[in-house]
């Protein structure tokens, strides 16, 4: 089986940002994403999900290493300062590298 | 019924008491674990029901009766940020961003406060223009736009660009957010269907309405209660502002309502709308367009001070004011 | 009431207007963010309520009155794919898989279209056999089975094996899917309880029913509206098919209903069922068993063409047809 | 109405039949995919409604009428674990942890069983003290505390420390869990509002109530049905215990109710509460505080044996018993 | 602390496949799985969750490397062509290797 | 871009444990967490989510390697024997190491 290395970028952030981040991911060259609602806590306090304002969201993107790097840079430049957000990258392998 | 009786009757209504129960649950850290979807579902129901009923009322009253007070309502919403912003800046010492953000919240409106006020009127059997929900629909957006402009520093020549994606998303949300769409949409449907349509859906949109509001206020109580802890963080100025602003706006709204010819009930509703602060549409739009504003300030003021004040004391107060002015 | 008045009354019903509002929200990209669980909950409610009411009606009419028209309904469901398949293959030039998939959707039925039709009849005060929801229950599965057989190429000696896990899962879904189970189960309960049971639960299963349908159609409008963009992809043939197939099936159903002795209202309901295309049971079963079929074709036709057509124009048309044939 | 008629009428009620449908769906592995939030929402509704109605009843009856039977109810709840624990240990050969866990479940109460019993009384038009939901509220916690103490081995000098975080969380849950908070809170609100409050929210808390219970029992049937497979695992002793314990507790509760002066309906409700086993509050508290107990034992007994037994046969039986003792 | 290497296989796919995939995982030798509903977008369009048909699902499985490879092969053979699906593998460590 | 190595600890367990585990994570030195409801199956049977008792939960924590190790040890000591639970650790990279 022929596995190919990819990056998995995970973003946890305020729900209000969903549309904007999906837009940014497309601009950075990602070909897809997966999102779901989460709850959590961090430096900016506990986030439940009863008001959209205080809702929390996890977005996962599989992307080529170069794209993943661009994504992180954009997140850093556009969102890290002002919003409750965590982002991290991991290594994964996929069968169909052309999909990402 | 005098003011004290009205306040007491209001405080002992299921709606207000369920709100208090919600606060108690939050404060005593007993999470009632209301599912997220319940909150959204109740919101959808309340907005649709109030919109539809308002539309049927417009059908019966004719659009001719509605446009002038609706225009006043729009003006009220747009003007409130203009007086609150300088007060927040000068008296409160707030940053441009925070002052604009808070001004947007207080100019915009809270649908649930409005609904609680209509229930109060039903309870004391005071008639009102049931098309008043049209005012609710038109007051949500203008204040947000004005507040965002202020918060982006247009007064001080600040940067404000429609190509900023945050501002783009925010303005789209403000002008035709889901709340406005549901409300205006259901109102249009009610206006087209009239009485015949109401007969069909009354068992859903009217019969359980007051009980659903009570359940929703239980949930709002938890939301507000969780913010109580932030009261320490917002400072004394905002505590005072959270009570004084609704009083000023509320009495102003009542007076304007009377002036434009609304009944006692209708003027009271316009007062309640002015007094209320948005905690759904404004927060989302402001978060996207003025990210540098601290949401703890605006949300704590709107949710933990002004909202409870309005539904407990504000509503009977503005009702009393509306009665006085009429005599 | 003549046809035009009937169409107009139907178009101005809360149900249809909320559907239009949903389409508008989807098309203008204003996500109303209905929680996923609300959609499921409303479906469960509508199926249970319609099933229960039908069961109480069976209790009152006796099973003797129901079996013959129910048998006709089953035959209708199984036959519709047999004429639609060759048309889709030969006239539409569709692949075996796609033709079978679409045939399965159009032979099967849409519960919400049926419910909208009963509401229409209630609105125009036309009586109908309230056990007609039994037809709804029995028409869901046969067409799916026939359609899947066609789509797997049994006509052309294609491979079809019960050991294929996709087919196994699909058949189980088709024969006793959750929709059928809820509907038939609630119907059985209604038949066992009769009037006494209805008295107990009327405040839940009847009073708010029409309003719940309106809310559900708001959601369906969003679902259909999101599919509108796919209309370009499906080609002119399917656009025409999506209107002509329900007309043919609907008039056929009305005629058969009259022939088997149903009232005007009952025959109209059988027509509506024939005309309607499944968008819940069929898509899932077909996706599992004919994965090579393109779901965009069948779903766009069923949801974005046939469903809106039926609830806006089909319902009054089939009503008019049922009235004409009876005279 | 004699016992057989009562049993038959109960078995043919929508509530019981929907429960059976749920079991059938689970056993035939047809997942009806009820959203998780629907379960929670229905629970919130049922608890709030029953609490509110009880509170209004307390408002009308006066607290003087309530305190003595409520005290008996508390005593019942605390005593039941004390007799069930030794039976489970000696006759059933259970471990200390398992015996304590099961004792906690059977001393505590099931709100839905109680609600089904009030519906039964409404159906047979037997009056009852509507403040009886106060008994439900006070019986949930004491038994859990006693059961946990037993299960941690305090009788045998076992380790039990309030600094154990599991026990800390569990006791907090037991004393003021969300069920109790909703119930007691809504009851307090009803007691404060009285008739006037009820008039406002009747269309939500009363009109659809029985139907909502039917829907909830459909879901409970699925939950219970999924546990049926575990019946093999729990052994013959627990099967017998699951029927005998509610009989003993139920008749005891009826007798005590009569003794303390409750009406036939009220005594029957106290019997039903004693007979019922908790499947929400107790499981969570026990899981946190006695993790070494096997939840399969207590949950299967409570959900798959005692709950179905009570709502099908127990309710008419305890009703009959209450009638007999009164004559 | 004694950590053991395992593979984490993540699958994002159409909701309609849930039962079938859980079946396949068992056949491949996996001893458990975790699933939840997600929304997302990829080459086959946006998937919300309002109809089961267009619903989206994420399934995660911890498995021994050999089992993970068999899973990927089965997914490739049985699903990749016809269904909206993404699958990827990552490295994780666990304390109790015998559980997986 | 300056990426820093962190550990991602994932825990899947009975819903009833949520509060206790969040407490434990804080005691171990984690600065945040993300949680969401899942369904699944493992050695202790299928867990749906209709009763809290049988509910299932996934918790994710980004933490420094030393903290991650402490977390695993605590989970092992306090929960592994009595509760349905799975825990695993993976490698991820973050931009702002001081956040974790
Ligand atoms: N150490 C962490 N591990 C996992 N998730 C985290 C962590 N810190 C923060 N988060 C998530 O990221 C969201 C925003 O974090 P923050 O900006 O720190 O408030 C929180 O609500 C959590 O859901
Ligand atoms: N690059 C990606 N990163 C994360 N998730 C993806 C990606 N591409 C697709 N997905 C998910 O997998 C599902 C099916 O993908 P596809 O087959 O490409 O339509 C989508 O709905 C997404 O939820
Ligand atoms: N091999 C696995 N892969 C992914 N998740 C698992 C696995 N085994 C167990 N789980 C999850 O962990 C929960 C508890 O597992 P267990 O203690 O084995 O019953 C299950 O309900 C699953 O959600
Ligand atoms: Na305002
Ligand atoms: Na059809
Ligand atoms: Na009991």
What one-character-per-residue DSSP string does C81-111 give?
A: HHHHHHIIIIIT---HHHHHHHHHHHHS--H
- Which burial class, exposed, middle or buried, applies to F38 when counting CB atoms under 10 A from its CB (0-12, 13-18, 19+)? buried
Residues B206-215 have a mean pLDDT of 95
Q: Is residue C12 part of a domain?
A: no
Residues with Cβ within 8 Å of C234's Cβ and at least 6 positions away in sequence, in order, are: C296, C297, C300, C301
Q: The domain A4-95: what is its CATH number?
A: 3.30.70.120
Interface of E with C (CB under 8 A): 14, 16-17, 19-20, 23, 37, 48-53, 55, 82-83
Q: Is residue B80 part of a domain?
A: yes
Distance CA C212, CA F71 (A): 49
Cβ-contact D318, D121 below 8 angstroms: no
Question: Residue D62's pLDDT band (boundaries 50, 70, 90)?
Answer: very high
Distance CA B143, CA B76 (A): 9
Nearest chain D residue to F48 by CA distance is: D36
Q: How many CB atoms lie within 10 A of CB F73?
A: 13
Cα F9 to averaged position of ligand 3 atoms, centre (Å) = 15
* A3, A26, A68, A93, best to mutate vs chain E, most E CBs in 10 Å: A93
Distance CA C37, CA C23 (A): 20
Cα C250 to averaged position of ligand 5 atoms, centre (Å) = 8
Distance CA D193, CA B8 (A): 11
- Which burial class, exposed, middle or buried, applies to D155 when counting CB atoms under 10 A from its CB (0-12, 13-18, 19+)? middle
Nearest chain D residue to F49 by CA distance is: D36
Chain E contact for F10, CB < 8 A?
yes
Question: Residue B320's pLDDT band (boundaries 50, 70, 90)?
Answer: very high
Output the six-digit token pair for E51.
């109809």
Find the CATH number of the domain harbouring D71: 1.20.1530.20
Nearest chain A residue to F89 by CA distance is: A90
> H or E stretch including B266?
helix B264-275
Q: Where are the beta strands (DSSP E) in B89-176?
A: none
CB within 8 Å: A20 and B169: yes
Ligand 2 atom with the shortest distance to the CA of E38: 23
Question: 3-class DSSP state for residue C159?
Answer: coil
CB within 8 Å: F99 and A40: no
**Shortest Cα–Cα distance, D93 to chain B (Å):** 37
Residue B276: pLDDT above 80? Answer: yes
Nearest to B189 by CA among B281, B58, B63, B74: B58
Residue D163: pLDDT above 60? Answer: yes
- Nearest-CB residue to B21 (from D35, D176, D189): D189
Residues B252-264 have a mean pLDDT of 96
- Nearest-CB residue to B284 (from A23, A37, A53): A53
Question: Residue D19's pLDDT band (boundaries 50, 70, 90)?
Answer: very high
Cα B167 to averaged position of ligand 2 atoms, centre (Å) = 29
Q: How many CA atoms lie within 13 A of F81 on its CB side?
A: 8
Cα C277 to averaged position of ligand 5 atoms, centre (Å) = 5
Question: Residue A48's pLDDT band (boundaries 50, 70, 90)?
Answer: low
Question: 3-class DSSP state for residue A35?
Answer: strand
Question: 3-class DSSP state for residue C135?
Answer: helix
Residues D73-94 have a mean pLDDT of 96
Determine the pLDDT at residue D31. Answer: 77
Determine the pLDDT at residue D166. Answer: 78
Percent of chain D with pLDDT over 70: 98
The total domain count for chain D is: 1
CA angle C45, C51, C54 (to 5 degrees): 140
Nearest chain C residue to D17 by CA distance is: C189
Chain F contact for A35, CB < 8 A?
no
Residues B112-141 have a mean pLDDT of 93
Question: 3-class DSSP state for residue F30?
Answer: coil
**Domain extent for D151:** 31-325
Q: Ligand 3, residues E10, E26, E31, E32: which to mutate, most atoms within 8 A of Cβ?
A: E32
pLDDT digits (tens, 9 = 90+) for B11-53: 999 999 999 999 999 998 887 878 888 999 999 999 999 999 9
Question: Residue B175's pLDDT band (boundaries 50, 70, 90)?
Answer: confident
**Shortest Cα–Cα distance, B303 to chain D (Å):** 22
Nearest chain C residue to B173 by CA distance is: C30
Determine the pLDDT at residue B302. Answer: 95
Determine the pLDDT at residue C284. Answer: 87
Q: How many CB atoms lie within 10 A of CB B296?
A: 16
DSSP string for E10-30 = EEEEEGGGHHHHHHHHHHHT-
Q: Does residue F31 have its Cβ closer than 6 Å to ligand 1?
A: yes
Percent of chain B with pLDDT over 90: 77
Q: Does residue E17 have its Cβ closer than 6 Å to ligand 2?
A: no
Chain E contact for C320, CB < 8 A?
no
- The residue whose CA is least distant from atom 23 of ligand 1 is A40
Determine the pLDDT at residue B305. Answer: 96
Q: Does residue F6 have its Cβ closer than 6 Å to ligand 1?
A: no
Lowest mean pLDDT among C307-321, D44-58, D87-101, F32-46: F32-46
CB within 8 Å: B31 and D207: no
Residue F88: pLDDT above 90? Answer: yes
Distance CA D86, CA C311 (A): 65
Q: Does residue A42 have its Cβ closer than 6 Å to ligand 1?
A: yes
CB within 8 Å: F37 and E36: yes
CA angle F96, F97, F100 (to 5 degrees): 110
CB within 8 Å: E89 and A92: yes
Q: Where are the beta strands (DSSP E) in D57-119?
A: none
CB within 8 Å: C14 and B204: no
Cβ-contact D251, D52 below 8 angstroms: no
Determine the pLDDT at residue F50. Answer: 54
Ligand 2 atom with the shortest distance to the CA of A62: 3
Output the six-digit token pair for E60.
């995660």
Q: Does residue F94 have its Cβ closer than 6 Å to ligand 3?
A: no
**Shortest Cα–Cα distance, A5 to chain B (Å):** 33
Cβ-contact D140, D278 below 8 angstroms: yes
Cα B313 to chain centroid distance, Å, stands at: 15
Q: Does residue E42 have its Cβ closer than 6 Å to ligand 2?
A: yes
CB within 8 Å: A92 and E90: yes
Cα B185 to chain centroid distance, Å, stands at: 18
Determine the pLDDT at residue E1. Answer: 73
Determine the pLDDT at residue D172. Answer: 79
Q: Which ligand gives the minimal distance to the CA of D277?
A: 6
Q: Where are the beta strands (DSSP E) in D231-282?
A: none
Q: Which residues of chain C fall short of a pLDDT of 70? A: 1, 158-160, 326-327
Ligand 3 atom with the shortest distance to the CA of E63: 1
Q: Report the neighbours of E using a cutoff of 3 or more CB pairs below 8 angstroms.
A: A, C, F
Determine the pLDDT at residue C61. Answer: 92
Q: Is residue C212 part of a domain?
A: yes
Cβ-contact E8, F90 below 8 angstroms: yes
Q: Ligand 2, residues A4, A24, A34: which to mutate, most atoms within 8 A of Cβ?
A: A34
Residue B2: pLDDT above 90? Answer: no
- The residue with greater pLDDT, B244 or B227, is B244
B165 neighbourhood in chain A, CB within 8 Å: 20, 23
Strands F85-94 and E85-94 turn out to be antiparallel
Q: Which long-range contacts (CB under 8 A, 24 or more apart) does A28-31 make?
A: A28/A63, A28/A67, A28/A70, A28/A71, A28/A74, A29/A63, A29/A64, A29/A67, A29/A70, A30/A61, A30/A63, A30/A67, A30/A71, A30/A100, A31/A63, A31/A99, A31/A100, A31/E42, A31/E43
Do chains B and E touch by CB distance (3+ pairs < 8 Å)? no
Chain C contact for D218, CB < 8 A?
yes
Q: Is residue B234 part of a domain?
A: yes
Distance CA C248, CA B204 (A): 35
Distance CA D249, CA D141 (A): 17
- Evaluated on CA atoms D24, D25, D30, D31, the torsion sign reads negative
B149 to B146, C46, D4: CA distances (angstroms)? 5, 46, 75
Residues E33-55 have a mean pLDDT of 79
Residues D117-122 have a mean pLDDT of 94
CA angle D251, D254, D255 (to 5 degrees): 85
Determine the pLDDT at residue C94. Answer: 96
- Beta pairing partners, E61: E9
Cβ-contact D118, D262 below 8 angstroms: no
What ipTM was assigned to the predicted interfaces of this complex?
A: 0.94
pLDDT digits (tens, 9 = 90+) for C101-130: 999 999 999 999 999 999 999 989 999 999
Cα F93 to averaged position of ligand 1 atoms, centre (Å) = 15
Distance CA B14, CA D190 (A): 8
Determine the pLDDT at residue C327. Answer: 53
Question: Residue B159's pLDDT band (boundaries 50, 70, 90)?
Answer: low
> H or E stretch including A85?
strand A85-94
């Amino acid at each position: 089986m022929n596995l190919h290395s990819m990056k998995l970028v995970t973003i946890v952030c305020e729900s209000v940002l969903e549309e904007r981040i999906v837009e940014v991911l497309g601009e950075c060259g990602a070909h897809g994403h997966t999102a779901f609602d989460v709850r959590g806590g961090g430096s900016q306090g506990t986030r439940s999900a009863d008001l959209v304002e205080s809702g929390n969201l996890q977005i996962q993107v599989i992307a080529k290493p170069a794209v993943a790097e661009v994504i992180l840079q954009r997140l850093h430049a556009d969102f890290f300062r002002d919003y409750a957000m965590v982002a991290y990258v991991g290594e994964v392998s996929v069968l169909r590298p052309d999909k990402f | 019924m005098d003011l004290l009786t009205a306040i007491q009757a209001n405080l002992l209504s299921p709606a207000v008491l369920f709100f208090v129960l919600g606060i108690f649950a939050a404060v005593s850290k007993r999470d009632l674990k209301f599912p997220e979807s319940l909150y959204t579902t109740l919101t959808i129901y309340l907005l649709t029901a109030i919109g539809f009923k308002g539309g049927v009322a417009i059908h019966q009253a004719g659009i001719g009766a509605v446009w002038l007070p609706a225009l006043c309502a729009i003006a009220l919403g747009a003007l409130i940020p203009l007086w609150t912003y300088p007060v927040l800046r000068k008296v409160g010492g707030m940053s441009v961003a925070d002052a604009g953000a808070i001004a947007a919240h207080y100019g915009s409106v809270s649908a649930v406060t409005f609904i609680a006020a209509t229930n109060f009127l039903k309870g004391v059997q005071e008639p009102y223009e049931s098309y008043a929900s049209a005012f609710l629909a038109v007051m949500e957006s203008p204040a947000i736009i004005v507040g965002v402009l202020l918060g982006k520093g247009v007064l001080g020549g600040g940067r404000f660009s429609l190509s900023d994606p945050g501002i783009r998303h925010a303005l789209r949300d403000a002008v035709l957010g889901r709340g406005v769409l549901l409300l205006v949409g259901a109102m249009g449907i009610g206006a087209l269907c009239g009485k015949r349509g109401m007969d069909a859906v009354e068992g859903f949109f009217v019969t359980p309405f007051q009980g659903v509001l009570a359940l929703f206020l239980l949930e709002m109580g938890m939301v507000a209660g969780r913010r109580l802890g932030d009261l320490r963080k917002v400072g004394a100025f905002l505590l005072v502002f959270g009570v004084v602003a609704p009083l000023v706006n509320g009495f102003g709204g009542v007076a304007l309502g009377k002036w434009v010819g609304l009944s006692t009930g209708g003027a009271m509703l316009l007062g309640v709308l002015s007094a209320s602060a948005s905690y759904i549409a404004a927060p989302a739009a402001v978060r996207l367009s003025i990210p540098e504003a601290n949401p703890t300030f605006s949300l704590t003021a709107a949710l933990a001070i002004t909202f409870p004040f309005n539904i407990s004391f504000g509503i009977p107060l503005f009702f009393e004011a509306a009665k006085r002015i009429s005599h």
